[in-house]
Amino acid sequence: DIQLTQSPSFLSESIGGRVTITCRASQGISTHLGWYQQKPGKAPKLLIYAASTLQAGVPSRFSGSGSGTEFTLTINRLQPEDFTTYYCQQRSSYPVTFGGGTKVEMK
Amino acid sequence: EVQLVESGGGLVQPGGSLRLSCAASGFTFSDYYMDWVRQAPGKGLEWLGRVRNKANAYTTEYATSVKGRISISRDDSHNLLFLQMNSLKIDDAAVYYCTRPNNNYYMDIWGKGTTVTVSS
């Protein structure tokens, strides 16, 4: 199975700031990576797929990059609704796997 | 409106079985692959498995952690997805989500989830 390691597990930033979350794969996965946002008590929401393609309706302050084994999710101009948990997910090979999650907290 | 609604959660004894259902609406269910994902309390997301569409012979894929204990199936005539899980353990307690992978195989539609509790 492909392991996805997210870092950091927690981070604090202020409203209006910028955060970068990293997802590292245990083997190369090309650009077969997605990012999800999950708010407490809610189902996850797809933000980005194919490493850098913004899902329809997702604000442009979210962006993704990377290929191979290292990927990043960047959130610019943090808004109050962005303080929640984010997961990466690979679909390069079965089984599909998720990263362990990164919680973004308000400083 | 595109919608997935899970049902069938509840209290199950260790060693027991569960069968969850997911009712799909608002899209052509038969065209899509469908997945199950779960989330234990306070933990991350865990993909459980996938059933492909008829064009791909309804074949399935499962997570290593649950392979042999689960079966995913579908009824396209009623727009229903199913998850059968056997030999339940305490660690199987979770919210179980039904999801739809989009044409790029990323999960773009999620149900609200159904909660399974495993306890004697």
Residue B76: band (very low, low, confident or very high) from pLDDT cuts 50, 70, 90: very high
Q: Answer yes or no: are the C-beta atoms of A50 and A104 closer than 8 Å.
A: no
SS3 A91: coil
The pLDDT value recorded for residue B67 is 94
Closest CA to B120 of B8, B10, B14: B14
Distance in angstroms (rounded) separating the CA atoms of residues B96 and B38: 4
B48: confidence class by pLDDT, cuts 50, 70, 90: very high
Report the pLDDT value the prediction gives residue A45, as an integer from 0 to 100: 98
> pLDDT tier at B1 (50, 70, 90 boundaries)?
very high
What's the 3-state SS for B24-84?
A: EECCCHHHCCEEEEEECCCCCEEEEEEECCHHHCCCEEECCCCCCCEEEEEECCCCEEEEE
Chain A's closest residue to B96, CA to CA, is A43
Q: Give the span between the Cα atoms of A28 and A72, in whole angstroms.
A: 15
> What pLDDT digit, counting tens, does each position of A14-65 carry?
999 999 999 999 999 999 999 999 999 999 999 999 999 999 999 999 999 9
User: Which residues of chain A have a Cβ shorter than 8 Å from any chain B Cβ?
Assistant: 1, 34, 36, 38, 42-46, 49-50, 53, 55, 87, 89, 91, 94-101
Q: Does B119 lie at the interface with A, CB-CB under 8 angstroms?
A: no
> How far is B120 from chain A, CA to nearest CA, in Å?
25
Q: Answer yes or no: are the C-beta atoms of A51 and A59 closer than 8 Å.
A: no
The three-point CA angle A31-B26-B102 to 5° equals 10
The single-letter DSSP state of residue B17 is -
pLDDT tens sequence across B94-113: 999 999 999 999 999 999 99
Cβ atoms of residues A89 and A68 within 8 Å: no
The string of pLDDT tens digits covering residues A10-21 is: 999 999 999 999
Span B5-39, pLDDT tens digits: 999 999 999 999 999 999 999 999 999 999 999 99
With beta carbons under 8 A apart, name residues in chain A contacting B45: 36, 38, 44, 87, 89, 98, 101
Q: Shortest CA distance to A91 belongs to which of A56, A48, A54?
A: A48
- The predicted pLDDT at position B60 comes to 98
pLDDT given for residue B45 in this prediction: 98
From CA B109, how far away is CA B48, in angstroms rounded?
16
Residue A24 has a pLDDT of: 98
In the numeric block, which tokens belong to residue B87?
């030999």
Among residues 4-33 of chain B, which lie with CB inside 8 Å of chain A?
A: none
Task: Give the torsion through C-alpha atoms of A46, A98, B106, B52, to 10 deg.
Answer: -140
Structure tokens at B12: 């199950």
Q: Mean pLDDT across the stretch A80-90?
A: 98
Report pLDDT for A22.
Answer: 98
Integer Rg of chain B from CA: 14
